[in-house]
Chain A
Amino acid sequence: MSTSVTPAAEFHQHALALAAAQSAALAQQDNSPAWMTTLREQGAADFARTAWPGRKTEQWKYTSLQAFQDFVAADWGAAPEVGSEVVTDAPSGADTDTDAVGNTVLSLDATRLVFVDGVLDMLASDALPAGVTLFSQADADADKIIADHLGKIAGGVDASRRNLFAMLNNAWTCDGLLLHVPRGVTLERPLYIAHVSSAGAGQPAALATVANHRVLIVMEEGSGAQVIEHFVGSGAGQPAFVNALTEIQLGNNAQLHHTRLNMEDEALSHVGAVHLNLHRDSRFHGFTIAEGSRLKRIDYQMNHCGRGADLKLDGVYLARHRQLVDYHTTIEHRVPHCTSQEVFRGIIGDRAKAVFNGRIHIHKDAQKTLAELNNRNLLTSNAAEVDTKPELEIYADDVRCAHGATISQLDETALYYLQSRGISPSQARVMLSFGFINELLQGLPHEAIRTALGTHLAALFAADRALVSDVGYSDQQAIDSESV
């Protein structure tokens, strides 16, 4: 390392120091399970060994990690206490305002668990239902399930594509949440997990909040569940760094609907990933939405491991001001007769930037695969930017695969139609811009979320023209579209 320490190198050092401090604290308590020690040590070793991503790192080519400068000068504070519960007066559902999905925990007809900076807030949460347990409170059975799966699903990625921040998440794992749905059982109520970042509320400005979230979902054969993960910023406007990793195992014939809402405010940096293994005839229906911030990077790594599995993922991203949103998705079709259907739409305004990279990898044996990927972007200012790239690798010959990415503009005919009914051009643009993403919201099965999101976003579109497209700003341009 050179004498002038770069922000990246400094972050690296801080991150490892924090992991070490946590390990020391865990050792004091001497009840941490063996798997955790292994996971943490391995994570720290991997992280230490892996170079910081730069412009030449393919997976980070378009996304600057400049935001990490926020964290290098800051005192990160002490390691969080392990297995503790906090009681906060931070967002609670009591006065939920559906207008503010961004910084309010929602009141839904669901089992609600609220984590503040990675720690369960008992007062704001419902009692843990059957099958849900904190890693720190796992009994022998749960402990075995965790040991069998945690880190293994995310760890299954090709060595060359392993994610630095997944390693870091391993290194920082002190606790987490397990949802285990036994064979044949369908969860009666959806599980709603709110991950709140207090963003240094009530702390000196110099103290950045660093939070590590870890969720493991193990669905046994024939089980069913709905899970909503909602990332909430406190609105305190202070820098915070969140690293959130969710691993999901879908057994044969299991069904999961998973929603991931990233609505944290501008000051927050979020690096997160969902890793998913689908076994025979299982079904995954995912929905994700992200509003931009200093840095938002979200990876979906989805692996078809058993025939007949079905996957559908809808995504929406909205970036304005100088925000950044980056979605990277990968689907590994390793076995025959599986389907995947991905639809992502984004609106990018002001000087904001979005990155979408959708990779579909169809292995030699994955005959009769049906894969579709569609990404459409609406740029609402000349200074807004999107880098979109579908990436196909196909090694089987009997497959159907369609992919396309476009930068669109509002449909002139639709605009004319609305105006011909007396609607003003400016209102028509709001309706069409919102409609562009609302189309995907309509696929959400949970009506309360659809309503809360819809209300929040409609207000956002009405209030900030940054997300409203003016016809003529951008050119329709097919970047890449083909059928195989």
Chain B
Amino acid sequence: MLQINKLNAQVEDKQILHDLSLNIKAGEVHAIMGPNGSGKSTLGNVLTGRDGYDVLSGDITFNGKNLLEMGIEERAREGMFLAFQYPVEIPGVSNMEFLKAAVDARRKHQGLEELSSFDFMKLARDTSKQVSLDPSFLKRGVNEGFSGGEKKRNEIMQMMLLEPSLCILDETDSGLDIDALQVVASGVNAMRSSDRSFIVVTHYQRLLDFIVPDYVHVLAGGKIVKSGDKELAKELEAKGYGWLESEVA
């Protein structure tokens, strides 16, 4: 699904990611944990192709294609999805219009017909209910005036509508109460399948009780300093990150 090989990347002339390698096979769930500022969001932004995040060296293959040659929207149409740590508010653009444009673009790329407005509205309403978001949120501006939890649920709704093959969740759990956390987790679990992979970025072991990962990686100082299975997350929870950082240094 995704092979990252010796990735070095910088933001505004400052190198953030160092020789990062990661191999994710179809159907796997990888958790990435690590202290603030370790480069977790940077990795997400590099993968989606955001301007200003420059790859210095290394390569990334996504579904057998060279990811670094694709534009932002091409990556999305190919099935990459990033649930933002801080979803963006776009007043004046309705959530429904936004979701329809996104789904149309993805379907067109897959050689499928666009859904009629009627069918799409029905689909969007059903999906919003699955993430416990009132359908009235579809009429509002994109994330406009949404609470933190509502924004995160809107991200999961987009993920469900777009049916991506690689889902990156960037601290989707932060700021959520336990009910909202369960909504998010059950949304993700419902989407787990043998041809879809997940990168779950989180600070807390808590989320991983609900979304059980196959692998856990620790990112510190822009490097993967340790990898393991779900037990590693528990160890981190108990000991913090300090012991790893000192181990590396």
Contacts and interface: CB of A to CB of B under 8 A. Distances in A.
A435 B84 contact: no
Interface in B25-75: 48, 50-51, 71-73
B137 to A, nearest CB: 15
Nearest to A416: B50
B92 interface: yes
22 contacts: A412-B51, A414-B88, A416-B88, A418-B98, A418-B102, A419-B76, A420-B50, A420-B72, A420-B73, A420-B76, A421-B101, A422-B106, A422-B109, A423-B98, A424-B73, A425-B71, A432-B92, A432-B93, A435-B91, A437-B92, A438-B92, A442-B141
Given A416-B50, A422-B109, A422-B162, A434 B76 contact: no
Contact of A431 (B71, B76, B93): B93
A417 B73 contact: no
Interface string B96-108: 0110011001100
A427 B102 CA distance: 10
Interface of A: 411-414, 416-425, 427, 431-432, 434-439, 442
Contact of B102 (A412, A422, A425, A435): A422
Contacts of A432: 90, 92-93
Contact of B162 (A413, A421, A437, A442): A421
A436 B72 CA distance: 23
Contact of B90 (A424, A427, A435): A435
B219 interface: no
Contacts of B73: 419-425
Given A416-B72, A431-B97, A431-B101, A421 B158 contact: yes
B77 interface: yes
Interface residues of B, number: 27
B173 to A, nearest CB: 20
Contacts of B169: none
B220 interface: no
Contacts of B207: none
B185 interface: no
B88 A439 contact: no
B82 interface: yes
A427 B82 contact: no
Contacts, number: 80
Contacts of A431: 93, 97-98, 101
Nearest to B76: A422
B143 to A, nearest CB: 9
Nearest to B87: A417
B88 A413 contact: yes
Contacts of A436: 92
B105 A422 contact: yes
A419 B72 contact: yes
A438 B144 CA distance: 13
Contacts of A435: 90-93, 141
The 7 closest A-B CB pairs, nearest first, are A435-B92, A439-B92, A422-B76, A421-B102, A422-B105, A435-B93, A419-B72
A442 B92 contact: yes
A431 B162 CA distance: 19
A66 to B, nearest CB: 34
A417 B84 CA distance: 9
Contacts of B92: 432, 434-439, 442
Given A418-B90, A422-B73, A436-B92, 15 more contacts: A412-B51, A416-B51, A417-B87, A419-B71, A420-B73, A421-B73, A421-B76, A422-B106, A422-B109, A434-B92, A435-B92, A435-B93, A435-B141, A439-B91, A439-B92
B101 A427 contact: yes
Contacts of B98: 418, 421, 423, 431
A436 B58 CA distance: 39
A423 B88 contact: no
A418 B105 CA distance: 11
Given A425-B73, A435-B93, A438-B93, A420 B101 contact: no
B2 to A, nearest CB: 16
A9 to B, nearest CB: 46
B112 to A, nearest CB: 13
Nearest to A435: B92
Contact of B101 (A416, A423, A425): A423
Nearest to B108: A422
Nearest to A420: B48
Contacts of B82: 420
Interface in B96-132: 97-98, 101-102, 105-106, 109
A421 B91 CA distance: 17
A421 to B, nearest CB: 4
Nearest to A419: B72
A411 B98 CA distance: 16
Given A432-B90, A435-B93, A424 B105 contact: yes
A435 B90 CA distance: 8
Contacts of B71: 419, 425
Contacts of A437: 92
A424 B71 CA distance: 9
A38 to B, nearest CB: 48
A422 B101 CA distance: 8
A383 B162 CA distance: 40
A431 B71 CA distance: 19
Contacts of A423: 73, 98, 101-102, 105
A411 B92 CA distance: 13
A435 B72 CA distance: 21
B84 A422 contact: no
B238 to A, nearest CB: 36
Interface in B2-22: none
A427 B92 CA distance: 15
B37 to A, nearest CB: 20
Contacts of A417: 84, 87-88, 90, 142
Contact of A414 (B77, B90, B101): B90
A69 B71 CA distance: 51
Contacts of B106: 422
Contacts of B109: 422
A442 to B, nearest CB: 7
Interface string B142-179: 10000000000000001000100000000000000000
A413 B48 CA distance: 13
Nearest to B90: A414
B98 to A, nearest CB: 7
B89 to A, nearest CB: 8
Contacts of A439: 91-92, 141
Contacts of A416: 50-51, 72, 88
Nearest to B106: A422
